[in-house]
Structure 1
Amino acid sequence: MIKNYFALYSQKYASKWLVLAIDLAIVMTTFCMAYFIRFNFSLDFNVEQFTLQLPFIFSVALISFLIVGSFKSVIRHTGFTDVINLFKSVGLIAFIIAVCVLFNNRLQLISNFTVPKTIIVLHAIISFLFLSASRLVFKMAFKHLKCKLLSTKRILIYGAGDQGIITYNALLNNTAFSYIVVGFIDDNVKKKGKNIDGVPIMAFNRITSEFAAANNIDEIVVASVGIGPARLIALVDNLSDVDVKITKVPPIENWINGELSSTQIKQVQIEDLLGRAPIEINNPNLENEFTGETVLVTGAAGSIGSELVRQLAEFNVKHLILVDQAESPLYDVEQDLKRAGKRSYTAIVADIRDGLRIDSIFQEYKPTMVFHAAAYKHVPLMEKTPYEAIKINVNGTKLLADTASRYSVKKFVFVSTDKAVNPTSVMGATKRMAEMYITCLQKESKTKFITTRFGNVLGSNGSVIPLFKKQIDKGGPLTVTDSEITRYFMTIPEASQLVLEAGTMGKGGEIFIFDMGESVKIFDLAKNMIKLSGLRYPEDIDIKITGLRPGEKLYEELLANGENTLSTYHKKILISKTRELDYEKIKTSIEELCITNRFQNNNIVLKMKRLIPEYKSNNSDYERFDKRVQTYKKNKGLVTSTTDKNLANS
C-alpha cells in the first residue's frame, strides 16, 4: 500500500507557495539564531527592537524570494542552478537590509531601528546553509524512499562527457524507476579514478562479466557520441556470460525539445554492430537533381522502395508516382505520406509485367525519372520457380525499361543485388540478365540507364534480422544455414541514400557498387542478437545449423570475374567496369527467354546458363546442367576461361 501511495504521489510536486512559506519560516528562524549566536545564546539584547525587526525581515525576505523566484524550483531535482538562485535570494535579503539600515541611520526615519552588521552577515550565512540543506535533505529522503519502494536498476553509463552527465541526470530524474548509477566507463585514461557527483569513472577493461555479476549490473547505457561499432561489439562480447541489457542514448538532434528523457534511451540495435561507421551522404546536388521532377518508383511498398519514396518526398519533386502490386503495404506507405503532410503523390496498384498498364501510367503521368525497385528476391523460392523469376525480374524490367526509353525518361535507376555477381541461383541470374538488358538498351536510347548493386539490407522484408527476431520471440532456436556463411549488410536508409546518390551522378550505362565494409558472419550476428535481447547463447537460446539452401552462396561478392572498379567523388560509391557484351545477341536472347513457356523451367535455366558464362548453380538441382553447358560452349567455341576449359574436358 505504501509503495502504491508513493508511486502515485511521486508524480506530483509540492506547491511553490508551500515552498515559499517554508523558505520564509527558515529565514525567520535563522534570524533568531543569528541573534542568539551574536549574544552568546542569551536574551541579553533589546527585545523590543528585535520584535520590531521581525516583520521587516519577513517583508524583505518575501520581496527577495519573489524577485529571484528560488521557491519555484522542483525540490527533488535540486541542482547547482537552484543553489545559485538561493545564494542570489540570500544576498539580495542582506543587501536590502543593509541599505535600509544605512538610510535609516542617516535620515532617522524610524527612531531606534537598526540591525547590527554582524547580525546581517551571520543571518545571510546561516540562511544560505539552512535553505540549501533543507533542499538537500528532502532530495536525499526522496531518493532513499524511491530506492526502497520502486523497482531499482543498477546502471553503468558508457561515456563520462557532457552527454554522459546529461544521461546521468535524466536517469536520476525518472519517476517510474529508481536508477542507481554504479559508475561511468570512459576511454579517456585521464578521467580514470575521478568521480562525477560521487560516482567513480572506470576504464573500459574493468567491465567484464565478473565485474557485472559482482556489482549486480542490470544495464549499460551507451552515452558516448564517439563510440564505434567495434567498441560496441567488444562490450557485447565482454558481457557474454551475464544477463546485462545494453542500451543507447539517441543523437542530440533527436532529443525532445532539446532535452533527454530516460524513455528515449533505447536498446542497442543490430545495426549498431555492423563493424563500420554509418554511411552518410550530404550532397546538396540531390535537391537540385529532383526539384521539379516527376519521379516513378516501382516496388514502392517494399523495404527499399518505401524508403526511396520517403526520402524523395523530402525533396521539391513535382510529383511522386508509387507503383506496386501489393495493395495493403502500398496503402500503408500512402498513409505515411498523408500523415507527413505530403500532397504531390499518386499511389497506383499495378503489375510491372502488364505492358499496357505500364504504358498507360507513363502516358498519363509522364515521369521524368524512374527508380525500379520491384523484384522477386527470395533465393530458395525463385530456385523452385524460374519462370516467375524471369517474368518479374527480367521481363518486368524489360517492359519498364522499354517504356521509359520510348517516353524519353531522363534517368532510369535499376536496383540490383550482389547476388547478380557470379550468380549461383536463379534469382541472382535473373538480376544479372536485367543488368545486361538495360546495358544493351543504353546503346540505342536517350534515357540514361543506371544500375546499383548492394548486399543484404538490415530489417528489409524477409531478411535475416526479422527472422531472428521472430525466432527469439518464440524461444529459439535461431537457424543459420552454415557456421561460416557471411554477408554484406547495410541499413535501409543507407541503401536508399546511395541509390539516390548513384542516380544523381550516373551518366548512363554504369553499374554502381557500394563499399559496405567487411562482410559479417551470420553466426556471429545471431549470437549478438541473442545477447542484445538480454539472453544467453546457448543457455537460453541455441543456434541450429540447417545447411545451405538451394542456390545459396557461402560468401557474397561485389564484383564478377573480369570486373574491376573506378572511383567516384564519394569514397563509398564505385563504378564497376564490366566486360564487353555482344549487345545485339544478348538483347535478342533475353527477349526470346522472356516469352518461354511457364512449363519449361529446365529450358529457362539452360538458356540463362548459356547467356551468363559465370552462372554456376550451387546446392541446386540445376547443377546437373553446368557440365552440359560447358560442353555446349566448347562445341560452339565459347569456352574462354581456364576454369571453363577444365570443366568442359572433365
Structure 2
Amino acid sequence: MADNLRTTPLRLRPREHRTILFLGDLLMGIASIFAALETWRRYNFTVLFNDLINSGFGETRAQELAILRADIEVPFWFYLLPVIWMILLVELYEPHVAGSGRQTTRGVAIAAFFGLAAYSLLFIIRQDPSNLPRVGVGAFLFFASFLTLAWRMFFIRIYKRTGQLRRILLIGAGRAGQTLAELYHSLGTRSFSIVGYIDDDVNKIGKSFQELPVLGVSGQLLELIDTYHITDVVVSINGEIQGETFQTILDAQEKGMEVTRMPILYEEMTGRVPIQHLESDWIIRSFVDGLPVSGFYDLFKRLTDILGALVGLLILAISFPFIALAI
C-alpha cells in the first residue's frame, strides 16, 4: 500500500499563493483603471450632451459636439491607483485570510472604505477640488472592489476544489503537536486540513488531543499517508527524534511527501515565530527549510522539458526527408 503513495503533482507554497493573489489583484486593478476611464468618459459625454440639448442644439448636433468635447485629462497619479489599491489589500495576503470568503469580503469592503475616505479628505482640503476626478476615482473604487472580490471568490473556489487544500499529518502528539492543533481550531477558516497525529507512545493510540485523533505509530506513517491521502507531514517533536522515526520520515520524503517542521507551519498560520518551541539549531534548520524546490520551478521545468521534446521532434521530422535521400 505504501508503494501507492499519493502526492500532489504541483506543490504551491504559501508564498506562491501570495504571488498568485498579488498578480490577480494587480490585473483586476489594471482592468478597473480601463473601466473607470470609460465610465468617466461616458459621464462627461452625457453631461455635455444634456447641456447642449438644454442650450437649444438638435440631438444629432449635440451628440457630435459632445463626442468632440468629451475627452478627459487624466492626471498621472490616476494610473497609480492599482498600486494604492493593493496596498489597501495588504491584510488579505495571509493564507488563512485568503481562504476565507467572509474575511475576504470584509477586507475588500474595508479597503474600499479607506480609499473613499482618503480621497474625500483630499477633496475637502484641496484648494481647487474641481480639478479632482471624482467620477474617475469613484468608478475605480467600485470596479476594483467588484472585480477583486469576484477574483478572490474564484481563487477560493479553485483553491479548495483542485486539491490545494492540504491534508496534514502531525508527527508527535506532545506539547508542540497539540499547540498546532489548538491554533488550527482557533482559526475561523483554514487553507489546509489537519487529519491527526502519529506518536510512538502506545498509550496515546486511539485517543484524541485537541479534537484530533492519534492514528498510529511512526512505523505506520507510509500506510497512513496513503490511507488518509496526506499531502504534508509536519514534524512536531521537541527534542531528539528516534532513529526509526527519522528513517520513516526520510522514506516518506523520498517518495515525494512534503515534510515541514512545526515552527514553519506555526509561522504560516500566525505570521509569528513560536519561540517556546524553537531549538538551538533553528537558524540552520530554517535555512534548510528554504531549500526545497518550489512548485513554480517544477512547473517551469516540466514545460521546458515538453518544449524541448517538441523542438527535437520537429527537427527530427524535418530531417527525415534528407536522411531518406542520403540512404
TM range (shorter): 0.3 to 0.5
Of structures 1 and 2, the one scoring higher in RCO (CA 8 A, sep 6+) is: 2
Tell which structure's C-alpha radius of gyration is larger. Answer: 1
Please give the TM-score of this superposition, normalised by the length of structure 2. Answer: 0.38
TM-score by length of 1: 0.21
